[in-house]
Amino acid sequence: MRQELVGRHGFNKRKMSLRRWATDPEEHNLTQTQSIQANSQISERPGAFRESSFDAFALSRLSARCVIGHGNFGVVRLAQDKETGKALAVKEIDKNRLRTAQNVRKVFTEKAILASLRHPLVVDFHGTCQDEKKLYLVMECVQGGELLSFLSKRGALTTTEARFYAAEVTSVLTYLHSQGIIYRDLKSENVLISTSGHIKLTDFDSACRLKFGEKTFTLCGTSEYLAPEMILRSGHDFSLDWWTLGIFLHELLFGTTPFDSEDPYNIYVNIISKAYCPPAEIDNHTRNLLQGLLDKDPSHRYAGKKVRSHAFFAGVDWGHLEWLQPAFVPVVKTEMDHGNIESLEEMQESKGTVENQADFQGY
């Protein structure tokens, strides 16, 4: 019998002590020249994006509402665009909480990546703005809420329902990798449900661009989804995202992540040393895909075309995912309806003057 999901509410619902930033690569179809060109857009310097041409979003256009998410450096707030009346999600980043040049680079990198993406299943980016104390990253508000909220109420999904979400996530990962970007934080909290029932992937603060043939050794992401090579610090590349797809698919089907434990340390021990054994009741195609995605050896792990052509996805038209029947279509009544999104408590703002304002020029 499949284990039901335990209700987890708010942002950072899991044990997320390892959410840190990084850079790195793998199996993708980019040429070396294309990869180098993609990486040339990202600099090691904190102010690398100050001369960017991204459209600024006027802070005066925003009418702030409730908090709908908590992050490492601030909150995500529901807001209304005064000009259009539409709902927006605004990531508020407390400048004083950034503290280090590495964290400043991180927020500029997130902005640059979001601004470069053009995919129907990725959250739309509208622009950025700032004031004396905060940076503001303005995105569409995806009014169906988090997939995790749906799973918390519904429990484990059928194979057909899980295939729908896995296919759409696979499409986004394939696109990101084609752009030389590794996502590194796939989880049901970051998969949002649009009004049509299709997904929108959000939260790119762990994403980075990669140079061809390189690996990164930075620890980031969410405990239950970490790949063995990240925990062991042996270096990781694009194959890490396919591991997280395996964890994601297992969670959809069985209501829990496969290496979970009450003790955070034991999660890492299980990921490194415990053999993955899917429950006996699943069909052979699902079993084979899960085992291939959750291969502890990145060089043997299923990835890219091998995933998309797998028998588990038989019948999926990768060029027309809009033809797939959503597992759930949320009820959204008005432009500002946020009934599917949980309101959270305000986060206490840091005190003191921000002295390094020049670091944020051009955001």
The active-site residue, picked from 24, 94, 185, 203, is 185
Q: Please state, in angstroms and rounded to a whole number, the distance separating the CA atoms of residues 11 and 203.
A: 11
Indicate the angle between helix axes 239-254 and 284-293, nearest 10 degrees. Answer: 140
Is-contact 1 198, C-beta < 8 A?
no
CA neighbours closer than 13 Å in the CB half-sphere of residue 88: 24
Cα angle 99, 104, 109 (rounded to 5 degrees) comes to 155
**What is the residue type of 62?**
L
Neighbours of 51 (CB within 10 A): 8
User: Any idea which residue has 């100050």 for tokens?
Assistant: 50
Dist CA 193 CA 322 (whole Å): 14
SS3 4: coil
∠ CA 180-181-184, rounded to 5°: 145
The total number of residues written for the chain in this structure: 363
Q: Could you report how far apart the first and last alpha carbons of the chain are, in Å? A: 50
* Single-letter residue type at 272: I
Active site residue 185: yes
Rounded to an integer, what distance in angstroms lies between the CA atom of residue 327 and that of residue 198? Answer: 9
CA atoms within 13 A on the CB side of 347: 20
Number of H helices, E strands in the chain: 10, 9
3-class SS at 105? helix
Structure tokens at 276: 């993955």
**Catalytically active residues, by annotation:** 185
